[in-house]
Amino acid sequence: MRMRPTLSWTPSEDLPPATSDPGPVADALSTGGVLVLSGAGISTESGIPDYRGEGGSLSRHTPMTYQDFTASAGARRRYWARSHLGWRTFGRARPNTGHLAVAAFGRHGLLSGVITQNVDGLHQAAGSDDVVELHGTLARVVCLSCGAFSPRRELARRLEEANPGFEPVAAGINPDGDADLTDDQVADFRVVPCTVCGGILKPDVVFFGEPVPPQRVEHCRELVRGAASLLVLGSSLTVMSGLRFVRQAAQAGKPVLIVNRDQTRGDQHALTRVSLPLGTALGTVAHRLGVPVSRVADGGPRPA
């Protein structure tokens, strides 16, 4: 039986109040060994909306599931048409103060690692190294038949050639790169196959309803085991893929700190939740620690 993914949650108990003081985050970072777990909220200041915050995309958009994508040619046509248009927006997005602060903390030896639930590549563009992309990346495409990988920019070129003049106006863009288009707008879109075997192409991301690869989960668990504390940035922790690491850290007695303006599913496990915009909070923390947050060059590097 197919299960629909968890898209929302309702607090079942009184959660501890949030604070507007990022001091506890600065204190944790000052001792080092902090593992960052980031979510869609860290990219909103780069123009990429989140799923569940105020005005989040789930209020108007149900993400593509793995089951729907693999079962229906029509679903794949709809996805690739919308994603092809959305990819242009992702390609223009640049790291914001939050991404840059995380990269600066890493350069100063304050972090033990970075795990991101995002697929936008903005942590790497900001200069963070060895980022674990828990849900994969939109910058790469995989064939479901032969397993061949290829760069997203190559697929974008092929889709442009197959769909000349495809310039619909989207109602919005979503965190997974999926633009809001009507069925009429995507009806004539042509999907291209794998150049190696002619199979079905899929972005190398974990769709809703699709499990995170076990080896990636274990790698993240090992990072949690080796960390002194866990810092969650911009994630509601609604889905288990991220929440499991919060629970693991809390069970091991490691401090969990959350920076998110809204309540999260992990608040009950946290030492504190700072209710501030990510850029404001992390910029303040960097200033307190004397860590300079540099800007990347205009049009800075993005993943291939």
For the annotated catalytic residues, the residue numbers are 135
43 marked as part of a ligand binding site: yes
- Asked if residue 66 belongs to a known ligand binding site, the reply is no
Residues whose CB is less than 8 angstroms from the CB of residue 178 and which lie 6 or more positions away in sequence, other chains included: 61, 63, 64, 79, 82, 83, 86
What is the rounded CA–CA span in Å between residue 294 and residue 176?
27
**Is 40 known as a binding-site position?**
yes
To the question of whether residue 154 is assigned a binding role by annotation, the answer is no
Pairing status of strand 149-151 against strand 201-205 = unpaired
Distance CA 255, CA 249 (A): 7
**Pairing outcome for strands 149-151 and 136-143:** antiparallel
118 carries a ligand binding annotation: yes
48 is in an annotated binding site: yes
Was 197 annotated as part of a binding site?
Answer: yes
Residues in the chain: 304
Is 55 annotated as contributing to ligand binding? yes
- 204 annotated as a binding-site residue: no
Radius of gyration of the chain from its Cα atoms, rounded to whole angstroms: 19
Closest CA to 234 of 124, 107, 97: 97
Please tell me whether 30 is known to bind a ligand: no
For residue 91, the one-letter residue type is G
Query: Residue 42 annotated as binding?
Result: yes
Q: Specify the DSSP element, H or E, that contains 137.
A: strand 136-143
Binding residues for NAD(+): 39-59, 117-120, 234-236, 278
Binding residues for Zn(2+): 143, 146, 194, 197
Binding residues: 39-59, 117-120, 143, 146, 194, 197, 234-236, 278
